[in-house]
Chains A and B, each alone.
Chain A
């Protein structure tokens, strides 16, 4: 996993609530058996004027000029500002892969759907939850200052705005640690392999019907 410590970037405002994972990466692209290459199809239905299919040369498709991520400088943004319940719907981690492949490292919203929130940490995308009024204020500031940049300091859990003012945020300590270090969960868990084996041995006694492995 790609580590994240501090990150500075342009904030793109995506002003709608309940952005679902079908919108972030439409289903036809889930047919890929890879983890990469989803960037050109992030928000595909909103981003292009004609329908897209896997295997197309997406750089030749007509971009929707009204969609925020097609406008300069937001096509270069690395921080996404969104509304409540971002990432709802399907469990597809492809949604996170599409965002990181596009270039995003941070998403800020008043709330996230649970599975998306969880998936983000696994791929090095930092989801930051801020109170609704703080998010509102950020939307207002971005609206008057195209190219509005912020710095996200994960270690200190703060966002630094262009005027130097600071917004604190909180991230679960364990998740923060893993993201700061870019740690592989599986490796960590396998350090406890003996505990897992002991658990299984115990359960085979108390619930033998769960071990009729075929």
Chain B
């Protein structure tokens, strides 16, 4: 019999019971909660007179609606405030641990889970948020769910699941200088398309993935969902294990070693068979820039905006035309000639310490270009912010003319006050370039932190490889 994939190992370990038709009741180890997708679930519990099954398996944090300036003043937007206060009230009522808005540990839910050691290898992790795939970077099975399922997990600590198909995406070889994890995942999505991973759990593998830092692996898994896969994962190695040593929610001492011995088994067996395998050559990946309104609409920075006239699939060509119109772009324009209005360095894709270091390194003593109206850095958590300040990164950003904000989702989806105005063009380190995502009529180009920083200084996209 063939060996098992990492996905199958974790899935099998969590089966509570299996129905004849293959529907599995899957045990959930960790449940992250934020203010946007939880109020109706808490309300459902209340209406049915139910209690959370295992409150200690939950951790809550407000992140989407929180302001990134003057936070001690509270939230001006009444509707946002109501949502954050509803989370506070629900957590108090049901006894759920919460990092409230002014807690130093507050931050984007997918940044704080690992940072606290709440995320652990080999666990099943869910959150009412599609970017829960991020946590797969630690050899966990992590995926986003809707609010009804949030309530289901709260009430039962389980989910009804069908086994997914498995896909291995292997990136072999060595990445060039200036090419980051973000470029790798954008290149992958460009290759497989936004629905390429639908129905699959994806394992990212190969020497280029192994050589990525933990933060880099998180960026890759974060965007698995942009390739259609609910879950993205990376096998456990020593880097993963070392990451968790001493984290507040992680086991300590002897229990840590016992856990680590198990974690070391969390990799696909050499003879495991995947339903699909996709291979990329790391050396061929250049820094990427998205040009359209779907993350698959992405090209190397050295390329030009694609021409729908060259697309044979009519549905695709139509999508390209709509995207060009929305983005205010003309086919065949060199990417490096596209000028930008705003820069956003942040989000659960790229707001960890390594991302901020990479951006600061590109900026050096440079200044934000005069045509750029706003350049902002929004750290992923209070602890990331604190660390960056210890390293003096905030000074580099501030001296260059960036704004240095408090942690949260911010302009990744513009539920708080941070947003693009209609027609504004933004170099963004976030994960979605959908129409209106960063503000109605706003135009988003997805890039790595280094590329965003370089664009801020130049005022237009530039190949970061030609800077140093």
A in complex with B? yes
Nearest residue in A to B40 (C-beta to C-beta)? A35
A94 to B36 alpha-carbon distance, docked (Å): 10
Which of B143-151, B280-288, B397-405 interfaces with chain A?
B143-151
Nearest residue in A to B413 (C-beta to C-beta)? A27
How many of chain A's residues have a CB under 8 angstroms from any CB in B? 62
A126 to B23 alpha-carbon distance, docked (Å): 19
- Do residues A209 and B255 form an inter-chain contact, with CB atoms below 8 A? yes
> Does residue B80 face the partner (Cβ distance < 8 Å to A)?
yes
- Do residues B130 and A122 form an inter-chain contact, with CB atoms below 8 A? no
A158 to B296 alpha-carbon distance, docked (Å): 34
* B interface bracket (residues with beta carbon within 8 Å of A): 35 or more
- Do residues B294 and A91 form an inter-chain contact, with CB atoms below 8 A? no
- Do residues B258 and A209 form an inter-chain contact, with CB atoms below 8 A? yes
Expressed in whole angstroms, the minimum distance between the Cβ of B322 and any Cβ of chain A is: 7
A209 interface neighbour in B17, B120, B151, B294, Cβ under 8 Å: B120
Type the 1/0 row for A48-65, where 1 means its CB is closer than 8 Å to any CB of B.
000100110000000000
A208 interface neighbour in B65, B255, B316, Cβ under 8 Å: B255
Q: Give the residues in chain B near A101, CB-CB below 8 Å.
A: none
Expressed in whole angstroms, the minimum distance between the Cβ of A131 and any Cβ of chain B is: 14
Known A26-B440, A174-B19, A185-B152: A213·B56 in contact at CB below 8 Å: yes
- Do residues B120 and A26 form an inter-chain contact, with CB atoms below 8 A? no
A195 to B25 alpha-carbon distance, docked (Å): 10
Type the 1/0 row for B342-385, where 1 means its CB is closer than 8 Å to any CB of A.
00000000000000000000000000000000000000000000
Q: Give the residues in chain A near B40, CB-CB below 8 Å.
A: 33-35, 93
Known A17-B315, A186-B156: A51·B27 in contact at CB below 8 Å: no
- Do residues A33 and B82 form an inter-chain contact, with CB atoms below 8 A? yes
- Do residues B319 and A17 form an inter-chain contact, with CB atoms below 8 A? yes
- Do residues B146 and A118 form an inter-chain contact, with CB atoms below 8 A? yes
Expressed in whole angstroms, the minimum distance between the Cβ of A47 and any Cβ of chain B is: 12
- Do residues B294 and A212 form an inter-chain contact, with CB atoms below 8 A? no
A112 to B228 alpha-carbon distance, docked (Å): 9
Known A45-B436, A185-B152, A196-B158: A203·B27 in contact at CB below 8 Å: yes
> Does residue B72 face the partner (Cβ distance < 8 Å to A)?
no
A174 to B21 alpha-carbon distance, docked (Å): 8
A210 to B263 alpha-carbon distance, docked (Å): 12
- Do residues A22 and B156 form an inter-chain contact, with CB atoms below 8 A? no
Q: Give the residues in chain A near B319, CB-CB below 8 Å.
A: 16-18
Expressed in whole angstroms, the minimum distance between the Cβ of A157 and any Cβ of chain B is: 15
- Do residues B194 and A91 form an inter-chain contact, with CB atoms below 8 A? no
> Does residue A70 face the partner (Cβ distance < 8 Å to B)?
no
Interface residues of A (CB under 8 A from B): 15-18, 20, 22-23, 26-28, 30-35, 45, 51, 54-55, 83-85, 88-94, 96, 111-115, 118-119, 122-123, 172-174, 185-186, 189-190, 192-193, 195-196, 199-200, 203, 207-214
Excluding A90-B130, A93-B148, 7 further A-B contacts by CB distance (< 8 Å) are A16-B322, A34-B40, A90-B432, A118-B149, A196-B27, A196-B158, A199-B27
Question: What are 28 of the A-B contact pairs (CB < 8 Å)?
Answer: A15-B318, A16-B322, A18-B319, A22-B413, A23-B434, A27-B413, A31-B36, A31-B79, A45-B436, A90-B130, A91-B129, A92-B36, A118-B145, A119-B147, A119-B148, A123-B148, A174-B19, A174-B21, A189-B155, A190-B155, A193-B156, A195-B25, A208-B258, A209-B250, A210-B123, A212-B251, A213-B56, A214-B249
